[in-house]
């Protein structure tokens, strides 16, 4: 059946996955009625499916990854859909801001570096893909980001990110849905659109889903894999013969003294090859957020965290003489990207 293996797998080619965890609780009760049972393909089936997955990726021209909370579980962060006793066996981190990338994040960074995955649409806020070495410009953090003060998340998605998502949902010929419950959110169009366009004749390769739980889109999948993401992505890296990733440095050179000069961005923070701006992020420096819920709100730099990312205190005027203050983070990788003009806009600019 397609819901167990995908449309590209012939009937009877593989045995159905084994249910390894029974959990009648609804995985995402606010969205659907699918129970939170967990399933596993046998090791032999996983290896065979990895070869099929590699074939699809090699054929694709515009492959994207659409990632959910399950991608970061082995980094110690919680997901939303797991309701079984397996949650109690997980290791968790003390601070979600200091979590470290896992094998899956690192392999995805490698897949992008070598041209197999063109873009990543990440529902997570954790910045672990960037910590693994993925360029900020390659990631659309559609639901918000811990390390981007111009995209803190909330009830309203940023318009430019939504427009980018719409364009890629139509452009994508292969979507890798990794660790997401595909519960019906707007962003699920990244998986749903290519799944519905699947056609060998028209050249759309459709949707690959890797997750332990069933989803609403399983019957539309070209290939369905029930296995741990780290295992699948490590095997995929081996099948595609990706070289081991080099260590990633996310901090800027100490000789900058936290003052970044000759940035190709205008006073509004928009990329402009002819512009040359300075961004002072020394302690106490005054800045202004460029976009998102805190657009045009002033703030100041109040320090750095253990990883060298900038701690900001942002002030929002809520009317009638009242203000609220919010503590936000600006990742140092934004400055690395900005120095080379590889992002379309700065999250903050200098306050006038």
Q: Which tens digit of pLDDT belongs to each residue from 103-116?
A: 999 999 999 999 99
Q: What is the pLDDT of residue 31?
A: 53
Q: What is the pLDDT of residue 253?
A: 53
Q: Where are the beta strands (DSSP E) in the chain?
A: 18-21, 38-40, 63-67, 119-122, 139-140, 174-178, 206-210, 223-225, 259-263, 277-280, 286-289, 298-304, 310-319, 322-330, 348-350
Weakest-pLDDT range from 47-51, 65-69, 242-246, 309-313: 242-246
d(CA 173, CA 182): 18
**Domain residue ranges in the chain:** 2-239, 254-350
Give residue-wise pLDDT tens across range 56-100: 999 999 999 999 999 999 998 876 545 454 545 556 777 889 999
CATH assignment, 2-239:
3.40.50.1220
Give residue-wise pLDDT tens across range 209-268: 999 999 999 999 999 999 999 999 999 999 999 988 776 766 655 446 899 999 999 999
Q: What is the pLDDT of residue 339?
A: 93
Q: What is the pLDDT of residue 29?
A: 52
Cβ atoms of residues 42 and 155 within 8 Å: no
Weakest-pLDDT range from 32-36, 122-126, 269-273, 345-349: 32-36
Cβ atoms of residues 348 and 290 within 8 Å: yes
Q: What is the pLDDT of residue 83?
A: 44
pLDDT higher than 90, residue 28: no
Give residue-wise pLDDT tens across range 172-195: 999 999 999 998 899 999 999 999
Averaged pLDDT score across all residues of the chain: 91
Closest CA to 213 of 336, 7, 57, 68: 68
Q: ∠326-327-328 over CA atoms, to 5°?
A: 110
> pLDDT band at residue 200, thresholds of 50, 70 and 90?
low
């Amino acid at each position: 059946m397609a819901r167990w293996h995908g449309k590209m797998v012939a009937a009877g080619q593989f045995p159905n996955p084994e249910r390894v965890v029974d959990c009648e609780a609804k995985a995402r009760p606010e969205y659907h009625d699918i129970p939170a049972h967990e399933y596993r393909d046998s090791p032999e089936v996983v290896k065979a499916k990895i070869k099929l997955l590699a074939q699809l990726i090699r054929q694709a021209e515009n492959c994207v990854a659409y990632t959910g909370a399950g991608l970061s579980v082995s980094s110690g962060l919680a997901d939303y859909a797991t309701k079984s006793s397996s949650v109690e066996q997980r290791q968790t981190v003390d601070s979600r801001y200091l979590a470290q990338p896992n094998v899956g994040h690192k392999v995805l960074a490698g897949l992008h570096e070598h041209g197999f995955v063109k873009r990543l649409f990440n529902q997570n806020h954790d910045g672990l893909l960037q910590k693994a070495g993925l360029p900020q410009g390659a990631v659309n953090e559609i639901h918000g980001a811990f390390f981007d003060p111009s995209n803190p998340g909330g009830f309203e998605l940023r318009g430019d990110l939504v427009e980018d998502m719409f364009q890629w949902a139509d452009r994508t010929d292969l979507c890798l849905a990794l660790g997401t419950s595909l519960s019906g959110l707007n962003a699920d169009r990244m998986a749903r659109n290519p799944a519905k366009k699947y056609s060998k004749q028209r050249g759309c390769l459709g949707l690959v889903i890797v997750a332990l739980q069933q989803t609403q889109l399983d019957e539309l999948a070209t290939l369905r894999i029930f296995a741990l993401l780290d295992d699948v992505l490590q095997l995929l890296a081996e099948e595609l013969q990706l070289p081991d990733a080099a260590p990633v440095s996310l901090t800027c050179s100490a000789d900058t003294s936290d003052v970044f000069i000759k940035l190709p961005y205008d006073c509004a923070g928009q990329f402009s090859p002819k512009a040359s701006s300075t961004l002072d992020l020394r302690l106490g420096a005054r800045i202004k957020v460029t976009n998102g819920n805190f657009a045009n709100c002033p703030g100041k730099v109040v320090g750095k965290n253990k990883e060298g990312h900038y701690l900001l205190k942002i002030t929002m005027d809520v009317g009638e003489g009242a203000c609220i203050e919010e503590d936000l983070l600006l990742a140092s990788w934004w400055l690395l990207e900005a120095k080379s003009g590889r992002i379309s806009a700065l999250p903050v600019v200098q306050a006038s």
